[in-house]
A and B are shown apart, each in its own frame.
Chain A
Amino acid sequence: MREVHCDKIIKAVKEIAIKANYELPQDVVYAFQSAVEKEESPIGKEVLKQILLNAQTAKEEQMAYCQDTGVAVLFVEIGQDVHVVGGSLVDALNEGIRQAYTEGYLRASMVYDPVFERKNTKDNTPAVIHFFIVPGDKIRITFAPKGAGSENTSRLAMLKPADGWEGVKRFVLETVKLAGPNACPPLTVGVGIGGNFEYCALLSKKALLRKTGERSKDPVARRIEEELIEDINKLGLGPMGFGGTVTAVDVRVELYPCHIASLPVAVNVQCHASRHAEVEL
């Protein structure tokens, strides 16, 4: 069995966590560049140009693109033929995050107790970690920090099967409209449909990891994505909600079978700080 040492994991997580916070992925930058052309509102165009300049400056000066360096979300795909040695995998992942946030000048935004004392953990741990077992002997780690401004506007509904596509679409559009400027548009909207309560939320988040403009391979999901992009951009919110024709640069849909009595829908709203970086070990 192939072995991967925890020290290697710590180092890799630290690197991708810093990189993701300093450098917006190229596909996201391209999406904003083409949005400048598409946007009809002058103030909207101006905001998009500022966003692009911010991305460029953050990368050049190696600074956090946004001050909200987010909850540290990790997607870890573990090959079933790989063996982690030298300690606990979860501890290694958190250690990588801790080092990235304390040594990379990133903001510590996590509090221990969510309701009462709300005392800061000071190093942005613990991370939120999702594990997936996959074939092969590699470990693939994707880091996607998520700011609260957009995460707080995300929603989930357990619709009735009779609500159908009309109901699903209405819920997605309502979520985007309510999110408005609070979520720092232009947005990327991740939609999970099906599964159950918790799985559909995870699908909506997973949808955000695809590249901008990369349509689903599933023909139904693809059709839905195209319809939603068009309608979301008719809502008129525009960049930063000042009014305009580019409210979202992308919508990605993930579908999953569900119970005969259910129609779960989750909408994960992603702001323009659509940050992620990945590594394979």
Chain B
Amino acid sequence: MRPENYEAQRQPPSNEFELNFGPNHPGIEGNYALKVKLHGDVVLEAQADGGYLHRGFEKLMEQRLWIQNIALVPRICVPDPSPMELCYSMAVEQLCGLHVPQRANWIRVMQLELSRIAAHLFTFGGHAATTGMYSTMYWGVADRDLVLDLFEEFTGGRVYSIYNIPGGVRRELPSGFLQRVSETLDYIESRLPDYDNLFFKNQVFVKRAKDVGVMTQEQALAWGVTGPNLRATGLAFDVRRDDPYLIYDQLEFEIPTEESGDAWARTLVRRHELMESIRIVRQVVEALPDIHGPIRAPIPNPLAWNVPAGETYTRVESSKGELCYYVVSDGGPKPYRVHVRGPSSMHAVQVLEKLSVGSRIEDIAQTMFSLDACPPEVDR
């Protein structure tokens, strides 16, 4: 650092100073930054500074064929890519009026819920690491890897599966796969009490996370908060139940809620959701052997596929919140406009900015990780 590059500024003595928090900082999730103004330890003002991961997705999607975009969309949210594929596929299906076979719908639900389990385990790991509990991080990452092994087996990709295409799913499940799914679920379930003892009931975590980043239900609704973060304020809203897609209306599951709306409640909601996801996958595993039929509706030649003109809006519940796609087609081989409404853009920008004010600087990481924002999806 050359001193001559910096101009001294005469300023009155003050306890206030500004700090760049990120983008290369262990307390920040991914490549994201905050500019914070501090008085001592207390945050006076926080300003989100995104754009480090901007790739111009919505523009790129207008330049590629409908089918090519399937490979592009999972990259929008890296830890939880499956809902992205599904939501986009659903939009194209609606535009074309494609009817998806039942079996494909069940397989899709299994994929979504497995992805949710993986994403939640990963979030616990990251959140625990911010409180210095690295063993939980090691556990979370290792257990997530078991789910990724399942993904690899039935989709071919560990992280990005690119398994959903408009009309159904790409391939049939391997033989004996459902058995391995239930074994993995059994194992993850047997681990949960250990997680409770190590992390969720651990006083280190409880004391750090309680009463940090509190938001009320009215605030949450006004700020556009969705998903587990909204449910942590006491409102049981879940797209899976309130606007069912695929076959969620045939499944039994509960919507866990918490009342306090702080970082602790948000993480606890995720922990309960993990149980519900395991329950859902169990139901799918039980039902799938009896559901026969094709896994894909016939689609025209994908390289010369003109999707009928029209517009549509689809929404699904991803592990971070409500994920929506607005897709417009002008009848051509490429989308005319695609807009992604991701949950994290609200959580990481306006909500994080507001919740950080008044907290201490070391609690920003708690707030950020408990909101479970996903920077690549903020910037897109």
* A and B interact physically: no
